[in-house]
Amino acid sequence: MSNRISIMVVSGSIERLQMAAMVASVGAVGGSEVSVFLSMNALPLFKKGASAAAPAEGAVGKLLVEKKAPPFKHLFEQAVELGDAKIHPCSMAMDILGYAQDDIEAYVGEPMGLTKFLDDATAGQVWSF
Amino acid sequence: MSKRRTIDARGSFCPGPLMELIAGMKMAEVGEEIEILSTDKGSASEIPEWIHKVKHEHVGTEEKDGVWHVLVKKTH
């Protein structure tokens, strides 16, 4: 069985980002090869200096903030630092938003296209948020 | 007797205590024991799962006054 986890994150809501970050961090520190693809409304939250506050979809999202759950950006960073996860911005979203590599957080790697992400994803679990 | 250090992750929610433990494990020496303190019940079961998965030694788990004490020995 493949030990690869591919995670596509397109939502900008805190609940989905939190769950994606949890899967990425716990998967990576558990020995899986984790690849995260950030696109659509998720990517602007990874712009340097952007507030980590993402809108809540419902009551649990508000509680995540009130109860100070580990911030999703911190969990993604830990996935990279502690579990060697790879996080890539979607090349299309980078172009649409007009971002350069220097505009996004340092733990986010080089832009990746969908062809490469899908190709890598064929051999393991795929999650989308 | 093994060296032992304590990581206080009380007040943090899953997977915060696990991540704090792993950061501590990276700095620990083989044979060292780490005790993680957590008030998060989910982490009290999640942390032993991780310990078994990555083949360290789960020495034990105790709950005292709403705080879980999970003891792990670094084996590799």
Q: Rounded to whole angstroms, what are the CA distances from A106 to A17, A102, B57, B68, B72?
A: 18, 8, 34, 35, 32
Task: Indicate whether A84 pLDDT > 80.
Answer: yes
pTM of the prediction?
A: 0.91
Residue extents of the structural domains in chain B = 4-73
* pLDDT over 60 at B73, yes or no: yes
A11-38: average pLDDT: 97
Give kind and range of the element (H or E) at residue B18: helix B16-27
Give A100→chain B minimum CA distance, Å.
Answer: 30
* Closest-CA distance of chain A to residue B39, Å: 13
The answer to whether the CB of B7 falls within 8 A of the CB of B34 is yes
Name chain B contacts of A75, Cβ cutoff 8 Å.
Answer: 15, 19
Which one of 3.40.640.10, 3.40.1260.10, 1.10.40.30, 3.30.2390.10 gives the CATH number of domain A4-128?
3.40.1260.10
Residues of B classed as catalytic: 14
Cβ separation of B26 and A82 shorter than 8 Å?
A: yes
Give the confidence band of B47 by pLDDT, cuts at 50, 70, 90. Answer: very high
Task: Kindly provide the b/e burial profile for residues B7-29, where b requires at least 16 CB atoms within 10 angstroms of the residue's own CB.
Answer: bebeebbbbbbbbbbbebbeebe
- Predicted local confidence at residue A52, as pLDDT: 59
pLDDT of residue A49: 85
Q: What is the pLDDT of residue A50?
A: 81
The pLDDT of residue B1: 64
- Which architecture does CATH list for B4-73? 2-Layer Sandwich (3.30)
Q: Of A25, A30, A68, which is closest to B53 when you measure between CB atoms? A: A30
* Total residues belonging to chain B: 76
Q: What is the pLDDT of residue A2?
A: 57
Using CA atoms, how far apart are residues A81 and A107, in angstroms rounded to an integer? 8
Q: What are the domain boundaries of chain A?
A: 4-128
| B48–chain A Cβ distance below 8 A for any pair | no
pLDDT for A123 beyond 90: no
